[in-house]
């Protein structure tokens, strides 16, 4: 029987090892399981000679890979890569290194769309007004409302989140501009979106989605000056990583009425009790709720089982994302 090693911390059993998942995995191989912390070195050393599949971000430098002759796949079930794997060496051995990060995309895209409509149409603000008894009706209450239908939409970053968001925007026939310095216009056109410089995306988008992952190179690249370029009264959805913006400037600009914003990610989580964002105006605040819903974890488990089954049958894995060795090293954990 093949050996499957689960070392998925910080994921817990409810996330990646429900009863049906355990049952499915047991039908595929022998299991060695460690939860609650990264597996101790002794345990890792013990399984290396026999392991076929590792689930988790177990440290796998070159010399450990060399001592795992049967290893066929490493499935990272966190949201980001760590530098503790020798990605290139694993690939050179024909070992699949996979990430479950895209499982979160559908949920984040849905949340981003909900925030966008909510900002444009004033849903949370309307509710606050209604409860305060200051609501106005119909066109009188819609003075600042605008719609996604046919709107100018900007996406900053075009990774998994964006790819799951674009189909949700399609029926609105929005015109979508994308800033992503790693991607070519030709590639972006496959998705029906247009590459554009950052300045243009900031200045013309009525709806602006900040979807860029955090890397070692892009911290705070949306600084105060850039944020000031955002078109007045735009709806800005900050939903990937707080690190990519100057967060203080972002909140101040929203609070002062330069734009409206939905914020799901924060420089520090939980947010301290007294940070200005808590009392900001023109914002809708959710507490890192975009990706981690139960459906996402169910999808993670399904993909994980499916890819392990493929790999153990000698076929390529299909569901999770392949590591891009160079990019994997740029990703920042949090």
- Contact set for its own copies, span 69-108 (CB under 8 A): 88-89, 91-94, 106-107
Give the C-alpha distances (Å, rounded to integers) separating 110 from 185, 245, 293: 25, 22, 11
Sole window of 196-204, 228-236, 249-257, 267-275 interacting with its own copies (rule: CB under 8 A): 267-275
Specify the residue, 154 or 291, whose C-beta has the smaller distance to its own copies: 291
By residue count, the chain amounts to 334
Phi and psi at 40, nearest 5°, equal -65, 150
Task: Kindly state the smallest distance separating residue 288's Cβ from its own copies, in Å.
Answer: 5
Compute the distance between CA of residue 334 and CA of residue 297 in angstroms, rounded to an integer: 19
Q: Whole-number minimum distance, CB 212 to its own copies, in Å?
A: 15
Phi, psi of 264 (to 5 degrees): -115, -10
Q: Which is nearer to its own copies, 194 or 293 (CB)?
A: 293
Shortest distance, CB of residue 215 to its own copies, whole angstroms? 12
**Helices 294-312/105-121 angle, 10° precision:** 150
Work out which of 16, 32, 251, 319 binds its own copies, going by CB under 8 A.
Answer: 319
The CA distance from 156 to 6, in Å, is 35
Binding mask 180-199 for its own copies (x = CB under 8 A): --xxx-xx------------
Of the pair 248, 269, the CB lying nearest its own copies is at: 269
Cα distance between the two ends of the chain: 37
Residue 314 is a binding residue for its own copies (CB under 8 A): yes
Measured CA to CA, the distance from residue 122 to residue 218 in angstroms comes to: 32
Number of residues binding to its own copies, judged by CB under 8 A: 82
Tokens standing for residue 59:
């440290």
Residue 46 structure tokens: 């013990």
Q: How far is the CB of 26 from its own copies (least distance, A)?
A: 18
| Range 283-312, binding its own copies (CB under 8 A) | 284-289, 291-295, 297, 302-303, 306, 309-310
Q: Is 142 in the site for its own copies (CB under 8 A)?
A: yes
User: Between 225 and 313, whose beta carbon lies closer to its own copies?
Assistant: 313
Compute the 3-state secondary structure of the chain and give helix, strand, coil in percent, each to the nearest 5. Answer: 40, 15, 40
Nearer to its own copies by Cβ, of 33 and 129: the residue is 129
How far, in Å, CA of 317 to CA of 320, rounded?
Answer: 7
Q: Which is nearer to its own copies, 37 or 134 (CB)?
A: 134
């Amino acid at each position: 029987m093949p050996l499957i090693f689960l070392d998925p911390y910080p994921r817990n059993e409810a996330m990646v090892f429900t009863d049906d998942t355990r049952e499915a995995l047991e039908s595929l191989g022998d299991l060695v399981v460690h939860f609650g912390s990264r597996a101790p070195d002794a345990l890792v050393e013990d399984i290396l000679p026999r392991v076929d599949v590792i689930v988790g971000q177990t440290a796998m430098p070159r010399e450990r890979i060399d001592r795992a002759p049967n290893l066929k796949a490493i499935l990272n079930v966190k949201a980001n890569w760590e530098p503790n794997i020798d990605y290139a060496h694993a690939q050179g051995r024909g070992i699949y290194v996979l990430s479950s990060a895209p499982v979160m995309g559908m949920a984040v895209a849905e949340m981003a769309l909900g925030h966008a409509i909510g900002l444009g149409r004033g849903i949370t603000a309307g509710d606050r007004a209604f409860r305060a008894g200051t609501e106005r009706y119909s066109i009188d209450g819609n003075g600042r409302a605008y719609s996604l239908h046919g709107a100018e939409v900007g996406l900053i970053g075009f990774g998994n989140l964006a790819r799951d968001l674009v189909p949700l925007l399609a029926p609105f026939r929005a015109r979508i501009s994308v800033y992503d310095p790693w991607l070519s216009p030709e590639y972006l056109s496959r998705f029906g979106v247009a590459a554009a410089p950052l300045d243009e995306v900031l200045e013309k988008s009525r709806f602006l989605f900040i979807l860029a992952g955090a890397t070692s190179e892009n911290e705070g690249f949306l600084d105060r000056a850039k944020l000031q370029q955002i078109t007045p009264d735009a709806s800005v959805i900050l939903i990937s990583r707080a690190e990519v913006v100057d967060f203080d400037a972002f909140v101040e600009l929203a609070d002062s009425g330069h734009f409206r914003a939905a914020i799901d990610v924060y420089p520090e989580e939980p947010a301290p009790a007294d940070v200005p964002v808590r009392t900001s105006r023109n914002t809708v605040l959710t507490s890192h709720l975009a990706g981690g819903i139960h459906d996402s974890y169910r999808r993670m488990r399904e993909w994980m089982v499916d890819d392990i089954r493929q790999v153990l049958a000698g076929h390529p894995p299909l569901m999770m994302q392949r590591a891009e060795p160079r990019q994997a090293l740029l990703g920042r954990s949090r």
